[in-house]
């Protein structure tokens, strides 16, 4: 924390920086200015640059005063005192991105660990973390600037003193639990904070999720750029397409989740799914409508239990909605639909037992999903009187054909009752002339072959660090039909288990067939880095980044030892 005695000095420094000559201003904002902004700035006459400098801060999550205060502090504290020197250090970049930590724990000497500082942040809204952020900075051999520690890339070995008695305790690729570290190292109370912070940067964050966070906090341009968070919030108010969700049992693992958005779109339709800050799934569609069309877009995923954030982006308008997949499923809400037959062997969202369900609030079918097979009773009431009662077999879905009830147009209530649960909802029956026409239907069906569905579930297990469960799903995927997805995930599982030769053999076969596979290149780079073939790892990371940008890969590449 900054003392009150230092505040006047920092304020004077900040004001002086803001009023500095134009050329100096450009050097000061170099950590956060984009190439496009720099180009625009340099193209302006000198007389117009002051207005650009004032407008530069509009829409950013930081004021000019706060930014220049942080910049002055990091140059003095973490750098050499020369302008911009602090932003070339890990500590300086984090401080510039996040500001002062809530608290700092220092371990200058230890019988086990190298010199360590732990920075704690109670909350970081930009990262959407609801738990404490813990960042370790460590210094090997008391040489050079402290480095930011990665639980994934460094592991606990990176923090240990070079003593033979302890270096052999942990393999370089072990997925190490806190309990295992404590049992083997027997840390003192002062050292125990290091153990907790060494496993993950925040409670619940696993594997690549750590590096995703570290990549963002060491990029002031990302966290202090034009405020992505503010823009998304404003768009959410203006763009909030209706979302329908139907969850049923999945034979592939977890729940079969069918999503249906109503959205207006002309060219681009993207969907991303996150669990916390960890990306779970993404898909990008390119459309060729000449003008925006009203679209009913459907998508099916198999998701393990958890809370997910679904981002839908239609022509650069983004909406975020949350869905929850419970550990124990229950009967769903009652929904309405029409149905149409499907051709054989066709897999689509909202397809059940050979029938396609087109959601429609005025549909001729009512249905619920049920967690267990059995009997379900449908009751329709008008006022207090029961006008229809029927019992149907429920196997994942229980369906009632409303036409069979011979209901005249009007307002009713409908109930779905099992032995353990029930649901009720209003029911409005309209004439055919009163029913509204629906818009264009657009369904994404490319990820629904059994092999791909097993592979996707295996990927989710790997994200959670459950290697045995992942292998079972991936083996089922291979048995359903060999896919690149399953082979890449099996290679990842081999790598996480320390079976580097097996992983490398799989990856070479994959890249011989598909040399630009981003995931295969990323895993291959990880394997070569673990085997300490750093030049090859760097080449693989660079090939992957040429295909797709990734903060996690950029951080991994940066942390490779210099050759």
Q: Per-residue pLDDT averaged across 523-533, rounded? A: 92
Token pair for 339: 């149905």
pLDDT higher than 70, residue 167: no
Looking at residue 2, what is its pLDDT?
34
Q: Is the dihedral of CA 542, 546, 547, 551 positive or negative?
A: positive
Q: Per-residue pLDDT averaged across 82-97, rounded? A: 91
Token pair for 43: 């193209």
pLDDT higher than 50, residue 233: no
Looking at residue 239, what is its pLDDT?
53
Looking at residue 101, what is its pLDDT?
92
Backbone angles phi, psi at 59, to 5 degrees: 85, 5
Q: Per-residue pLDDT averaged across 515-537, rounded? A: 91
Q: Per-residue pLDDT averaged across 420-431, rounded? A: 89
Better pLDDT: 434 or 212: 212
Looking at residue 436, what is its pLDDT?
55
Which DSSP category does 113 fall into?
Answer: B
Q: What pairing do the DSSP bridges indicate for beta strands 440-444 and 293-303?
A: parallel
Q: What is the mean pLDDT of the chain?
A: 83
Q: Which residues have CB under 8 Å from 248's CB, separation 6+?
A: 255, 256, 258, 352, 369, 396, 397
Q: Per-residue pLDDT averaged across 319-338, rounded? A: 88
Which range is least confidently modeled, 23-27, 277-281, 387-391, 438-442? 438-442
pLDDT higher than 50, residue 420: yes
Q: Per-residue pLDDT averaged across 306-311, rounded? A: 89
Architecture of domain 450-558: Alpha Horseshoe (1.25)
pLDDT higher than 80, residue 90: yes
Q: Per-residue pLDDT averaged across 534-541, rounded? A: 92
Looking at residue 302, what is its pLDDT?
95
Q: What is the distance between the terminal CA atoms of the chain, rounded to a whole angstrom?
A: 38
Domain boundary assignment for the chain: 7-88, 103-223, 228-325, 335-444, 450-558
Q: Per-residue pLDDT averaged across 113-131, rounded? A: 84
Which range is least confidently modeled, 87-96, 184-193, 516-525? 184-193
Q: Which of 39, 74, 54, 433 is nearest to 220 (CA)?
A: 74
Q: Which residues have CB under 8 Å from 230's CB, separation 6+?
A: 59, 61
SS3 for 447-473 is CCCHHHHHHHHHHHHHHCCCHHHHHHH
Percent pLDDT > 90 in the chain is 38
226 exposure class (CB count in 10 Å sphere: 0-12, 13-18, 19+):
middle
pLDDT higher than 80, residue 131: no
Better pLDDT: 424 or 167: 424
The pLDDT confidence band at residue 256, using thresholds 50, 70 and 90, is very high
Q: Per-residue pLDDT averaged across 254-283, rounded? A: 88
pLDDT higher than 80, residue 421: yes
The pLDDT confidence band at residue 16, using thresholds 50, 70 and 90, is very low
pLDDT higher than 60, residue 142: yes
Token pair for 181: 């570290």
* pTM of the model as a whole: 0.58
Architecture of domain 228-325: Sandwich (2.60)
Rg (CA), the chain: 28
Looking at residue 236, what is its pLDDT?
30
CATH 3.10.20 fits 335-444, yes or no: no
Strand order in the sheet with 355-359: 351-352, 355-359, 335-341, 365-369, 397-401
Looking at residue 240, what is its pLDDT?
65
The pLDDT confidence band at residue 156, using thresholds 50, 70 and 90, is confident
Q: Where are the beta strands (DSSP E) in 240-384?
A: 243-249, 255-265, 268-275, 278-286, 293-303, 306-314, 317-325, 335-341, 351-352, 355-359, 365-369, 374-382
The pLDDT confidence band at residue 168, using thresholds 50, 70 and 90, is low
Q: What is the distance between the alpha carbons of residues 505 and 478, in angstroms, rounded to a whole number?
A: 16
Query: Would you say 485 and 477 are in contact if contact means Cβ atoms under 8 Å apart?
Result: yes
On the question of a common fold for 228-325 and 335-444, the answer reads yes
Looking at residue 9, what is its pLDDT?
32
Q: Per-residue pLDDT averaged across 524-543, rounded? A: 91
Percent pLDDT > 70 in the chain is 87
pLDDT higher than 60, residue 442: yes
Better pLDDT: 483 or 274: 274
Looking at residue 229, what is its pLDDT?
37
Q: Which of 482, 488, 475, 560 is nearest to 522 (CA)?
A: 488
pLDDT tens per residue, range 402-418: 988 889 999 999 999 99
pLDDT tens per residue, range 371-402: 888 999 999 999 889 999 999 998 889 999 99
Looking at residue 345, what is its pLDDT?
59
């Amino acid at each position: 924390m900054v003392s009150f005695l230092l505040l006047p000095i920092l304020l004077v420094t900040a004001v002086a920086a803001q009023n500095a000559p134009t050329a100096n201003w450009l050097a000061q904002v170099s950590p956060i200015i984009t190439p496009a902004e720099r180009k625009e700035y340099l193209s302006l006459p000198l007389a117009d640059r002051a207005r650009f400098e004032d407008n530069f801060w509009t829409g950013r999550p930081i004021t000019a005063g706060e930014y220049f205060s942080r910049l002055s502090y990091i140059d003095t504290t973490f750098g050499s005192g020369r302008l911009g020197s602090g932003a070339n250090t890990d500590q300086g970049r984090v401080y510039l991105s996040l500001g002062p930590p809530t608290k700092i724990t220092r371990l200058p000497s230890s019988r086990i660990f190298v010199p360590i500082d732990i920075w704690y942040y109670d909350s970081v809204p930009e990262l959407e973390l609801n738990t404490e952020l813990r960042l370790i900075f460590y210094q090997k051999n008391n040489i050079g600037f402290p480095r930011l520690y990665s639980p994934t890339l460094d592991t606990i070995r990176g923090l240990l003193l070079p003593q033979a008695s302890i270096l052999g305790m942990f393999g370089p690729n072990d997925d190490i639990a806190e309990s295992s570290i404590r049992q083997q190292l027997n840390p003192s109370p002062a050292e125990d904070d290091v153990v907790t912070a060494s496993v993950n940067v925040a409670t619940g964050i696993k594997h690549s999720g750590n590096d995703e966070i570290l990549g963002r906090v060491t990029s002031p341009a990302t966290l202090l750029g034009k405020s992505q968070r503010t823009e998304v919030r404003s768009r959410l108010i203006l763009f909030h397409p209706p979302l329908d969700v139907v969850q049923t049992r999945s034979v592939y693992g977890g729940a079969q989740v069918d999503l249906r958005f109503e959205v207006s779109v002309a060219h681009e339709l993207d969907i991303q799914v996150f669990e916390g800050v960890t990306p779970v799934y993404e898909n990008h569609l390119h459309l060729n409508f000449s003008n925006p069309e009203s679209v009913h877009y459907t998508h099916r995923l198999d998701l393990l239990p958890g809370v997910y954030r679904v981002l839908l982006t239609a022509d650069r308008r983004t909406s975020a909605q949350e869905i929850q997949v419970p550990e124990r499923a229950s009967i769903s809400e009652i929904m309405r639909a029409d149905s149409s037959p499907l051709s054989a062997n066709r897999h689509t969202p909202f397809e059940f037992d050979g029938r396609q369900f087109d959601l429609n609030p005025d549909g001729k079918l009512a249905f619920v999903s049920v967690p267990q097979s059995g009997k379900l009773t449908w009751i329709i009431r008008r006022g207090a009187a029961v006008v229809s009662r029927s019992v149907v077999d429920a196997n994942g879905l229980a369906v009632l054909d409303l036409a069979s009830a011979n209901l005249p147009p009007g307002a009713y209530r409908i109930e779905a009752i099992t032995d353990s649960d029930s649901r009720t909802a209003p029911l409005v029956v309209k004439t055919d002339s009163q029913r509204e026409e629906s818009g264009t239907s657009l369904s994404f069906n490319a990820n629904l072959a059994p092999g791909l569905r097993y592979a996707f579930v295996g990927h989710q297990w790997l994200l959670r660090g459950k290697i045995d469960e992942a292998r079972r799903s991936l083996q089922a995927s291979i048995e359903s039909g060999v896919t690149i997805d399953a082979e890449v995930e099996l290679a990842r599982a081999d790598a996480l288990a320390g079976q580097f030769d097996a992983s490398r053999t799989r990856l070479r076969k994959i890249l011989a067939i598909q040399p630009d596979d981003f995931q295969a290149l990323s895993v291959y780079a990880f394997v070569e880095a673990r085997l300490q073939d750093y030049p090859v790892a760097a080449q693989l990371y660079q090939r992957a980044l040429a295909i797709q940008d990734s903060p996690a890969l950029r951080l991994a590449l940066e942390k490779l030892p210099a050759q």
